[in-house]
Amino acid sequence: MCGIIGIVGHTEVNQALYDGLTVQQHRGQDAAGIMTCDHTGRFYLRKDNGLVKDVFHTRHMIRLKGSMGIGHIRYPTAGCSNSAESQPFYVNSPFGIALAHNGNLTNTQLLSDQLFKSDRRHLNTGSDSEVLLNVLAHELQTSGKLKPQPEDIFKAVAEVHKRCKGAYAAVAMIAGVGMLAFRDPYGIRPAVIGKRDTSQGTEYVVASESVAIDTLDFDLMRDVQPGECVFIDMEGGFHSQQCAENPVKSPCIFEYVYFARPDSMMDGISVHKSRMRMGTKLAEKIKREFPDHDIDVVIPIPDTSRSAALQLSYDLGVVYREGFIKNRYIGRTFIMPGQQQRKKSVRQKLNAIDLEFRDKNVLLVDDSIVRGTTSQQIVQMARDAGAKKVYLASAAPPVRFPNVYGIDMPSPSEFVAHNRNVKQIAEELGVDWLIYQDLNDLVEAINKKSDVKRFDTSCFDGDYITGDIDETYLYYIDALRNDMSKQTEEEGNVTIELHNDV
C-alpha cells in the first residue's frame, strides 16, 4: 500500500506535504518523495528510499518551492524497491506532468508494449506507476492544446480508465496548470478531498486518508468517487467529473482490516468503528463456538488489533490487558520487504510483560494472520512468559489468495493458511485453539450503513473485483514477486535515477 497527497495552496506547500506524508507513513516505509511546482511552472523533486523523516533534510525542503505539490510514500508492489522507482514520477511531454500512485495495475505488460510500439513513449523503470503516468500523458497529448482545459483532462482520464486495469488512486500535476486526482472505476484504493478557506482564497488537498486532512487543518469534503476525476487549477478553481462508464464503489476490504489508520474515514466509513464492530462479531462467534470458554484475559497484538480486541473483551465480559509492549521506533513488520527482516523485526518490536501471562489462559487477538510471522513468535512469547493456555483470534478470515491491487502478497505458498484447515493452522502456530472471523461478519462489521456496494474481498475468497484475473496472471505475479525472486532481483539491481535531487 502506498500513500499519496496533493495540495494546491496559495503559499508554499512543502511543509504541509511533508506533514501529510508523515501521518500516512503507516501505508509505506520503503521510499518517500515530494514534487512541487512554482508559479513559473517549474518542478522541484526530492525522492529516495527511507522514511519521510530520513528522506527530507532542510536543504531539500528549501528547494521544494511552490504553492502546488504532490507527495508519495511507497510500499512496492511492482518493479523493484530501488530509489529510481520511488515516486512521484515525471514526464516532460506534454506540458510537464508528475504523478504519484497508490495501487497496482494488472495489465502493465500489455500497456508497456503499447506505449513503446504505438504511443512511442520510453519507460525507464519496471514500475507500473510510470506506465500509468505515460498513459495519462499520451491521452493528454491527443488534445493537441498548449494549455489543457478541465474537459481535456477529464477526457484523458476517461481514456486512462479504458486502457488501465487494476487499482489506482492517483494525484498528478500539470506544470503551471493544476493538480488532478482520480480513482479507478471500482475505487479499490482510497482518496479523499479536503479544503480550507484562507484570506487569499480556498486551498485544496487530496490524500489517501482523511487523517492527513484533519492534521493539516483542512475540512474533509468527501471521497474522490470511483471513476471520478477532480481537477484544481493553479488559481484554486475546483472542477470534477465522473469519467468512468460503469463505476461501482468496491473498496479493498483490507484497508479496514489493517492498512488504514483507525482515525481515518474511508468511503464514508469510520475505520475505528468498523474495527470495533469486528471485535463484536468475533466475540459473538467465540460465544457460539466456545460457550464454556475458560479465557482469563484478552491481550491485543499491537498495534492494529487494539480497537477490535478492546471491543471483543467488553462483549465477551473478559478483562483486557496490554501484555505486549511495542517498541515505538520499529515500523510495521508486514509491509517490510523480506521475510528475514519481518521475522527479526517482530522480536525487536514486541516484548511480553510476564505478569499478564503467568498462569493464565490468554486470548491473543490480531487483526489478521497472513504469513503467520507475527503470530508464531507472539504465541511462543506468551508461552515463555508463563501462559497456561494460548488461544488466538483473528478479526479477519484466513488470507488464502494473492492480492493484485496494491498489497504485496503475491504468493499463496507464503501464507500460513495455504493448504491448511483451521486446525492445521492452529498446530502450525502452536495455539490451543484458533478462531477466525467469518467473511460475512467482516463485511457486515464494516458496512453498517454506507453506500459501498461491495468490497474487494479477493485475498479472502479469491473473487477479484475487476473480473479479469486468471490463473495465468496469478502464476505470473507469484513467479515475479515471491520473496525469493524479489531478493534475487534486488541483488542485481543498480538502476541509476534520472531527474533526482540528492
Ligand X SMILES: O=P(O)(O)OC[C@H]1O[C@H](OP(=O)(O)OP(=O)(O)O)[C@H](O)[C@@H]1O
Q: Please tell me whether 488 is known to bind a ligand.
A: no
CA distance 217 to 193: 12
Q: Please tell me whether 304 is known to bind a ligand.
A: yes
Residue 2: active-site member = yes
Give residues 302-321 in contact with ligand X (rule: CB under 6 A). Answer: 302-304
Contact partner at residue 258 from Mg ion, ligand X, ligand GLN, none, CB < 5 to 8 Å by partner kind: ligand X
Q: Which sign does the torsion angle of CA 429, 303, 220, 224 carry?
A: negative
77 binds ligand GLN (CB under 6 A): yes
CA distance 130 to 191: 19
Q: Among residues 150, 406, 410, 412, which is the contact residue for ligand GLN, using CB under 6 A?
A: 406
CB of 335 to Mg ion, least distance (A): 10
1 binds ligand GLN (CB under 6 A): yes
Q: Among residues 104, 106, 270, 437, which is the contact residue for ligand GLN, using CB under 6 A?
A: 104
334 binds ligand X (CB under 6 A): yes
How would you class 49 by CB atoms within 10 Å of its CB: exposed for 0-12, middle for 13-18, buried for 19 or more? middle
Q: Which of 2, 243, 252, 459 is catalytic?
A: 2
Nearer to ligand X, 208 or 373 (CB): 373
Site size toward ligand GLN (CB under 6 A) is: 16
CA distance 484 to 338: 9
Instruction: Enter the DSSP assignment of 256.
Output: I
Q: Please tell me whether 280 is known to bind a ligand.
A: no
Do 103 and 132 meet the contact criterion of CB atoms below 8 Å apart? no
CB of 374 to Mg ion, least distance (A): 6
CB of 22 to Mg ion, least distance (A): 20
Q: How many CB atoms lie within 10 A of CB 82?
A: 21
CB of 362 to Mg ion, least distance (A): 17
The residues, ordered by sequence, that sit 6+ positions from 150 with a Cβ below 8 Å of its Cβ are 231, 233, 239, 241
Contact partner at residue 406 from ligand GLN, ligand X, Mg ion, none, CB < 5 to 8 Å by partner kind: ligand GLN
| Nine-digit cell string for 332 | 510495521
Nearer to ligand GLN, 44 or 89 (CB): 89
Give residues 354-383 in contact with ligand X (rule: CB under 6 A). Answer: 366-375
Q: Among residues 6, 76, 262, 402, which is the contact residue for ligand GLN, using CB under 6 A?
A: 76
Nearer to ligand X, 50 or 176 (CB): 50
- Which parts of 260-330 are beta strand (E)? 265-266, 269-270, 297-300, 324-326
Give residues 251-270 in contact with ligand X (rule: CB under 6 A). Answer: 258
Give the 3-state secondary structure of residue 193. Answer: strand
CB of 462 to ligand GLN, least distance (A): 20
The bridge status of strand 31-37 relative to strand 43-49 is antiparallel
| First-residue to last-residue Cα distance in the chain | 25
Do 368 and 342 meet the contact criterion of CB atoms below 8 Å apart? no
Q: How many CB atoms lie within 10 A of CB 221?
A: 16
332 binds ligand X (CB under 6 A): yes
Nearer to Mg ion, 304 or 377 (CB): 304
335 binds ligand GLN (CB under 6 A): no
Report which residue type is found at 144: G
497 binds ligand X (CB under 6 A): no
Distance of CA 48 to the CA centre of its chain: 19
Q: Near ligand X by CB under 6 A, which window of 171-179, 284-292, 327-335, 440-448?
A: 327-335
CA distance 191 to 119: 29
Q: How many CB atoms lie within 10 A of CB 396?
A: 27
Rg of the chain over CA atoms, in angstroms? Answer: 23
Contact residues toward ligand X (CB under 6 A) are 258, 301-304, 332-335, 366-375
Q: List active site positions.
A: 2
Residues tagged in the binding site annotation for Mg(2+): 304, 366-367
User: Which residue ranges make up the site for ligand GLN (CB under 6 A)?
Assistant: 1-2, 74-79, 101-104, 127-129, 406
